[in-house]
Structure formats: structure tokens, C-alpha cells
A and B are shown apart, each in its own frame.
Chain A
Amino acid sequence: MTATSSRPSADDPRITLDQELGIFEPVPPYPPRTEREAEFYTLGDGQMFINMGPQHPSTHGVLRLVLKLEGEQVVDLDPVVGYLHRGVEKLCENADYHHTISQVDPLEYISALFNEWAPVMAYEKLLDVEVPRRAEYIRVLSAELNRIASHALFMGWMALDLGGLTPILWSFIERDEIVEMLGALTGQRMLFNYFRIGGVNGDLNHDFMSRLGDWMTRATDQIEANLTLLNTNEIFVRRMRGLGTIDGQTALQMCWTGPNLRATGLPFDIRRAHPFSVYQELDFDIPTRIEGDCLARYLLRLDEIKQSLRIIDQCLHRMPDGPIMAKLPRLIRPRPGRAYAAVESPRGQYAAYAISDGTDQPFRLRIHDPSFIHLQSVGQLVQGQLIADTMAVMASLDPVMGGVDK
């Protein structure tokens, strides 16, 4: 095709529709590599592909979903990930142990403290240091705050994907209060870079404590008031109930963890199952629901917020005195070995596997991310539903693309 002065259109005889316009189909240019790919990219009668993302208004970040549609119905779905890949694991191999903390921060950027927690715990296991109890309590306190912020945002996004304009802004007000609070504690609002190997970066300060106390008095009421907008809303409940249902066994086979698994009735929570930090000393419940649909996943997160508030309250009452950092040399060279540590992030089991070769840089740091695990079952959940449900199911799984693509 040479450049022409007039605008090209479908009626232009110089353009053959199949060749020139065929590029709009999301079919990959290479021959299919797997059977699944060959099957997926063969269109049946009356079917069409539609490319949802990576620049779609509601695919949480830069996820691309190739939908195979029959009218409005989704026949099959292929999530394409990797648009946000930054090579964080490789970057960590070339960074000092301390520097890796800031490298892993932007993975699941909605809940950055958990991103730091797992590698830091793995390094502590490698080094065999004991973290001061005050530091552990501060870690639990700040991480639970971060969990509330993350869940609050989840509820807003969920409503936005169903077409509600208002809840997302109320959630952001809620989240902003918490994030300001954490900013007063850690020095940053989003990517905190707060946990250190053997402790935390700074002690509790007056600014943080006054904000926290102010917020704690009205947190429960405020969050519940926000939620009355949707919890009993007939349109919302009718859309969410029975959508994207999965049973506990299948969820376990798909390696689900976190709130999404607990919504199917399995009370698996790393804070109880493999207690880390000081969670053993704290009194809290593991909320579960048995339905396993989108509504259960939505409501379960509200229950988790309430439990998080309980944990924060206990942390404040039991906060011990003492140092906030273990005594460690500035340059860390752990003995050669491997260590694994997992935390219960707002999305599920977030784990780090660190290998040390005795130098001051980790030989390998592997991050296990729950969003990626949950994302692989979207196709299964959405099959046979409508386009609108794709977004609802996606939102209910709460993936963060920063973590998926690493």
C-alpha cells in the first residue's frame, strides 16, 4: 500500500478486506505453539474475537483478555499477561539485600507492605536473626492497616466494574486516610519501603498515632455506612449472586489462597495455618463463606476488614517497649543456603524464596504471587457467561497486574 491522498475506507478497491483489515483480529502472527492455542484461535460458526485490553477502561491494569464471543456470550477466554513485566526478580539478583526491599515494593502496589514482608522474613531466616517484638508488632499493625486499605479499594473497583460511579470515590477517601496515616509512619504513601531486615525503618510517632486513634473511633461506622450503598442493592446482589461460582476442591486444585479460597468455605489462612510474626499471640477469627461466588468474595472482604480492625486494636493494646531493629552489620552476607517465607497478603499467599551464595546479593529471589494464580482460573469461571460478567468476575478475584507480571 502506498500512501494515498484520500482517506482509506472499506470501499476502497485497493484494500482487500481480509488482508488489510484482518490485522485487527487478535490472532498471533506465529503458528500455534500448543494444542490449546490452536483450538482457541480457531473461530467457530458465528463466533468472533474481541480484544479486551490492554487499554480497556476496566481491566485492572494492563491485562489483555482475548474473548471468543458468540453474540454477548463468552465462549472462551485467553488472558495474556506480561505487559507490565519489569524483571523485578532479576533486578533483585543484582542488588544489595537491602536494596531488594525497594525493588519488590511495586509488585502488588495496592498492598506494598506485604511485598516487603515476605522477602524480609526470608532474609531473616537466612541470617538467623531474631526480630525485636516491638518491631513485629509494628509490622503487624501497619500491615493490617494496609490490608484494610487494599480491601476498601477492592470494594470500590468492584462497584465501578458493575457501573456504580460513587463507591470508588468513597473507597478512595477511606484508603486515603489510611495511606496518609502510613505515610506518617513510613514516610511514603504508596511504596512504603518500610520493613528492614531485622526490624522496621522507624518507630511509631505522634503524627501516626494521633491519626490512627482518630480514625479507629469511626472506622467501622464509616466503612459500614459506605457499604449500605451496595450490600442490599437489588441490582448489585442479583448480578453478583451465583456468578463465577467455584467449589472448594476445584479452588484448591487451582492453588487458590486467601479470601477467594475462604469464600468457598475452606478456612485456610497462613496467619493461622503457618503462623508467622506475632499472629499466634493475637486473637482473631478466620471468616469464611460457603457460596464461593462473586457476592461471597465481596462480602468476605468486609468481614476481613472487621477482623483486621480487631487485630489493630489488640496490637495497640499489647505494643511492647524495646528496640525496633535487631543488631545487624550494615553489609549483610548470609551464609549460603535457602529460605522460604510466606505471608497472608490481602490477595492470598504471598511468598518469597531466597537463595544465598554467601555474597552480599541474593543469588535468586523468587516471588510467589497470588494474583497470578487466581488469574489462571478466569477462563474457567467466565465460560458461558456474558461480557459484563467477565469484568465482574475479574474484579471479584482482585488481581493486581504489577504482581502478576512482576
Chain B
Amino acid sequence: MSFIPGLGLAKGMALTLRRFFEPKATIRYPEVRADVSPKFRGRLQLLYDEWGALKCETCFQCAQACPIECIDMGGIDTKGRYHVHWGPPEQYAERREESALRRSGRTVPDRAYEHFEQLDMSPVEAILDDHDYDPKRMLSILEAVQAVYGYLPVAALKQISFRSGAYYALIYGTASYYGHLRLDPPRDAGQARVAASARPDESVYLASLGAALDGRGAAAGAVH
């Protein structure tokens, strides 16, 4: 408070006017990212051990345990297929609807990954019904499913998880542990192939990938 009435107001007004022209503190987020210190502990990342191997064993336990479902796992497994997936779908609304289901440890019908073959699920339903939806009889369920399809489609595994209430990780573990269960369709024509005809030929895909990589390499070479 000063003796001249209004001097304090005038000082404040002058200060805001000066700040009007000063550089701004805003970080324009999607274009510019804030500096994150090297010590920051909130970062999610996969760690490598001292031999350079990935420490993650893709056990899915982190994704299943994450209470706010921010951990999303996806990638190519040892057999070169993208069907290891656990995590929230992209859209929030969908996530909210299904979060209760997801938190219960079951799989959720996952529309984002429906580029796998459309399977006729009635045999799976029948098998599950025969086995009383009992997760303890998982091996025989899986064997029966393989007998129908010739292999274990991911969609079928998810359906089994969804219906029986067993963790997808457990079913995937069982399926990938036993040697006689297979997760990809058999190559030789003698065995049953249900929907494999819809899949694009892998060799064609690999060839196009190689071409793309060559092109990029060539372009990079031209720059240097």
C-alpha cells in the first residue's frame, strides 16, 4: 500500500503489460517434447541385460497387473508372427466398456486385431461345452481344437480364454510349451486348412519387404 491511491494497481498493470511481450513458457506439446532428465523413473521401456539380450520374457504379467491398463504388449514372436498382444485397444470408450472384463484376467474381443482369419467358432464352443469350460482340462481342450483346425488359431485361443476365464497368457503358455501343439497352420497340403487360403503368401510379402528395404538403402546411399 502506498500513499498514492492506485499506484499498486498501476504497478501491477505495468508488470502484466511487460509480461505480455516476454517470451512464453508454453511447450507446444505434440511438436515439441519436454526434456526428460536421464534419471526420470516414469519411463516405460524394455531393458537389455549385459549381453545385449532383451530381459523381457513376454510373460504378460506386467500388462495383466497394470491397474490403469497403460501397458500394451505387441510384437513378433520367435516364429515371426505378430500375434503376441495384450493391452488396451486404442479407443478410450472401448477400453472403458471392457476394462472390468479385462481386469478380471480374461481376454477381450479385440477388434483392432481382427486381421487374422475369420474363424468359425462353433467347433470351439462345442469343445468347450464338452469339457465343461474347465481351465484345468486345458491340454485336452487345445488338443481337440487342434484336431479340428489343424493348428491353434489365435482367435480360438482368445475365445477359449474368454469363455473359460483362464488367462490368455496361461493358454498361450500351454500351447507354446507342448511340442505337438502348433500355433501356425501346417505348410504341407495333406493337413486340414480351414481359412488359410485367405492369408497372403508369405514369400510375396517377404519379397516386397526386401524390395522396400533395398529401395531405402539405395536412397540412403544416394544421399551420402
Contact = CB atoms under 8 A, between A and B. Distances in A.
Decide whether A and B are members of one complex: yes
Interface of A: 166, 170, 173, 176, 180, 183-189, 202, 205, 207-208, 225, 228-237
Provide the main secondary structure of the chain B interface: loop
A233 B8 contact: yes
B79 interface: no
Contacts of A229: 11-12, 15-16
A232 B40 contact: no
Contacts of B7: 232
A233 B5 CA distance: 10
B41 A230 contact: no
A216 B18 CA distance: 23
Nearest 9 interchain pairs by C-beta: A232-B8, A187-B41, A184-B37, A187-B39, A233-B8, A229-B12, A173-B25, A234-B8, A207-B37
B41 A234 contact: no
Nearest to B35: A180
Contact of B1 (A166, A185, A232): A232
Given A225-B15, A229-B12, A233-B12, A207 B38 contact: yes
A234 B15 contact: no
Contacts of A183: 37, 39-40
A145 to B, nearest CB: 15
A112 B6 CA distance: 40
14 contacts: A170-B19, A183-B39, A187-B41, A188-B40, A188-B42, A202-B39, A229-B11, A229-B16, A232-B12, A234-B1, A234-B6, A234-B9, A235-B9, A237-B1
A34 B48 CA distance: 63
B2 interface: yes
A29 B191 CA distance: 71
Nearest to B39: A187
Contacts of A202: 39
B90 to A, nearest CB: 27
Nearest to A233: B8
Interface in B1-55: 1-2, 5-9, 11-12, 15-16, 19, 25, 35, 37-42
Nearest to B8: A232
Given A187-B41, A228-B15, 13 more contacts: A180-B35, A184-B39, A186-B39, A189-B42, A207-B38, A229-B16, A230-B12, A232-B7, A233-B12, A234-B5, A234-B9, A236-B8, A237-B8
Contacts of A235: 9
B221 to A, nearest CB: 38
Contact of A188 (B12, B25, B41): B41
Interface residues of B, number: 20
A232 B11 contact: yes
Contacts of B9: 233-235
Nearest to B34: A180
A185 B15 CA distance: 33
A237 B7 CA distance: 13
A185 B42 CA distance: 13
A234 to B, nearest CB: 5
A185 B39 CA distance: 7
Contacts of A188: 40-42
A186 B39 CA distance: 7
Contacts of B25: 173, 176
Nearest to A191: B42
A184 B34 CA distance: 13
Nearest to A190: B42
Contacts of B40: 183, 187-188
A355 B49 CA distance: 40
A287 to B, nearest CB: 20
Contacts of B35: 180
Contacts of B16: 166, 229
Interface string B108-122: 000000000000000
A212 to B, nearest CB: 12
Nearest to B1: A237
B68 to A, nearest CB: 15
A177 to B, nearest CB: 9
Contacts of A236: 8
Contacts of B41: 187-188
Contacts of B8: 231-234, 236-237
Contacts of B6: 234
A170 B15 CA distance: 12
Nearest to B41: A187
B10 to A, nearest CB: 10
A235 B8 CA distance: 9
B111 to A, nearest CB: 35
A281 B163 CA distance: 67
A222 B15 CA distance: 12
A166 B19 CA distance: 10
